Structure 1
């Protein structure tokens, strides 16, 4: 069965062409998976698509959004699934990491490092927090933050008591999307290094193993997830996760509570 997809962005048109058994291009909106560019006021475009009857919405690489706008969009997400493409926090890598650390002793502490050009620092910090949330296995809360001259120091804590230290800084020579690194302080160490690619290493008593590289584009991963969401009643947690990570990134950069 093929699902109709409206995609005006070239990478997503390519993704549709690469999925001939499950996707077919369309110019409609009603009953169709709609791809929305993540620049400018993307949340309004996603809301308009949902209100127009889209079967699902994909937000491609969303820029920073006001938390209030995310809350408003979430009110529509029960009826219309929203999938968010976050290249530094790929859903397929998240699933692989979650499966790999299941059963390992919970980390008592995590170290989050992030650097990026000025244009993308807020987004890289947001996705770095997302990785910390995934590894901690629970929402995070702000405990302390200080920000000055494009630098951020912060302390977060998970609902389970894991301590998360955060260091972020502007760096003009960093990859365009930014670079994030997350390291657990535990008997079984988890290391995540994400920029253009994501490398995950797990070290425990048995040795060191590196998760397989993913060669599928992040656009195609997001499109496949949206098609699956449109065909089921199961709803994605993408918007709730994005809201959580955005609120904490804003709080860290401004020094106010999330």
Structure 2
């Protein structure tokens, strides 16, 4: 049997994704071309051009691996694809961890959300972007920027959301430049209401922690051992086989636009 016949084609040279294909060998196999395959696009540099090139090459789906912050001019000038699944790997905003946090709240709405971010200057906007993504999930609705300021070494902002039950849910954000060269950064979120959710994502320490406090006590979400790349690849394979739409790209663009709006206030 041809190895490529054992699973869906995946076109990638990224080591994390080559390893993920090997672990998913019953459902995925490496391919050398985009046609009919899941095309894994590195998230560094002008990754949006790689996404459009994969689409033009006949990819069945595109997976963007840990994308850097999209430049404002690229955000505004590109016609973003809607005719194929685009899965976005965001290690600071893993969908399985987000699902743990939302599920533990058992439908209890947040009354206020605070977001704190820290990262070296070149990576701070991307960390803020993912912090806003976390807040969007915790308030269960889109965020609107009310006021804010972006300075040389950080940003502060006040946002709100109508939320699922109406009324205004305020969200405060503080982002600060940190020393060092590591681009992963630190995220800390707190969602307060009848249920308290605390999220910590520290990529330098390899730590992701979700804790939920209710009247019944403290619940800590289980540690996720699956790599971010393997999770993203599994989601891409499901999107290809099921035909169900995914909103990853729309979510990324929404969070990116809101981050750039901080610089315009």
TM-score after normalising by structure 2:
0.91
Q: Residues of 2 paired with 1:130 and 1:33: CA distance?
A: 25
Q: Residues of 2 paired with 1:149 and 1:72: CA distance?
A: 26
> What displacement does 1:80 show?
1.0
CA separation of 1:182/1:88 partners in 2, compared to 1, >3 Å: closer, same or farther?
same
Alignment of 1:46-65 (within 5 A): 46-65=51-70
Specify the SS of the correspondent of 2:81: helix
- CA offset digits 1:209-241 (Å, max 9, x no partner): 100010111000110001111112211110111
Note if contact 1:144-1:255 (Cα within 8 Å) is conserved in structure 2.
Answer: no
> What displacement does 1:70 show?
4.7
Aligned to 2:91: 87
**Alignment: residue pair count:** 253
Aligned to 1:9: 14
1:193 to 179, 200, 207: 200
1:146 and 2:156 equivalent? no
Aligned to 2:217: 207
Q: Residues of 2 paired with 1:75 and 1:248: CA distance?
A: 17
Note if contact 1:70-1:239 (Cα within 8 Å) is conserved in structure 2.
Answer: no
1:96 and 2:106 equivalent? no
1:247 to 229, 236, 257: 257
Aligned to 2:3: none
Q: Residues of 1 paired with 2:80 and 2:126: CA distance?
A: 23
> What displacement does 1:175 show?
5.3
Specify the SS of the correspondent of 2:253: helix
Note if contact 2:75-2:257 (Cα within 8 Å) is conserved in structure 1.
Answer: no
Specify the SS of the correspondent of 1:108: strand
- CA offset digits 1:25-84 (Å, max 9, x no partner): 11021100010001111001101111221011100110111356457766423x210000
Q: Residues of 2 paired with 1:225 and 1:99: CA distance?
A: 19
Unaligned runs of 5+ in 1: none
Measured on the aligned residues, the alpha-carbon RMSD in Å equals: 1.7
Aligned to 2:188: 181
Specify the SS of the correspondent of 1:20: coil
Unaligned runs of 5+ in 2: 1-5
